[in-house]
Amino acid sequence: MSFHKQPKDDTQHQNHLDGTAKLLGLDLQEEAERSGLDNHFQRWIEDLKDVSNPELHQLVTDLQDLKAHFNGGSIDKDKVAQLLGRLGENTTKAAVFAENPNTAERVEKLGAALTAAAAQVK
């Protein structure tokens, strides 16, 4: 018997986007210590990989770098700010790939939350 991963529906994606945007407004260092941040990064990476869109590759790479950075112990604020800023910009641009307008709106909000988090870290 093989396991087939069920694709997420738009509501699941929207809930994840909302949760991630909310998480970015919290203390990222504190969230990293609770492992909540790691779980959000991993789900986000998996969602982006599932889309199989080469235009989203930089997002996946930056998320993997950010996840690894938070798991590495001490936080380099400049590096985190750089990654969050680039993620914010690229996430906002990626909203055009969302087929559902509600999902696109949430992707744009997430991009704004990432950009705001980058400014906060600086």
- Answer yes or no: pTM beyond 0.85: no
Q: What is residue 32's predicted lDDT score, i.e. its pLDDT?
A: 64
pLDDT tier at 10, thresholds 50, 70, 90: confident
Q: How far apart are CA 68 and CA 50, in angstroms?
A: 20
pLDDT tens-digit readout, 104-115: 999 999 999 999
Q: Sign of torsion, CA 106 44 95 100?
A: negative
Alpha-carbon Rg for the chain, nearest whole angstrom, is: 14
Q: How far apart are CA 107 and CA 105, in angstroms?
A: 5
Q: Check: CB of residue 93 under 8 Å from CB of residue 57.
A: no
**How many angstroms separate the Cα of 104 from the Cα of each of 3, 10, 33, 88, 89?**
30, 10, 30, 14, 14
pLDDT(34) > 70: no
Q: Check: CB of residue 80 under 8 Å from CB of residue 69.
A: yes
Q: What is residue 114's predicted lDDT score, i.e. its pLDDT?
A: 92
Q: What is residue 81's predicted lDDT score, i.e. its pLDDT?
A: 92
Residue 20: name the closest of 96, 101, 116 by CA.
116
pLDDT tens-digit readout, 52-107: 889 999 999 999 999 888 777 677 889 989 999 999 999 999 999 988 899 899 99
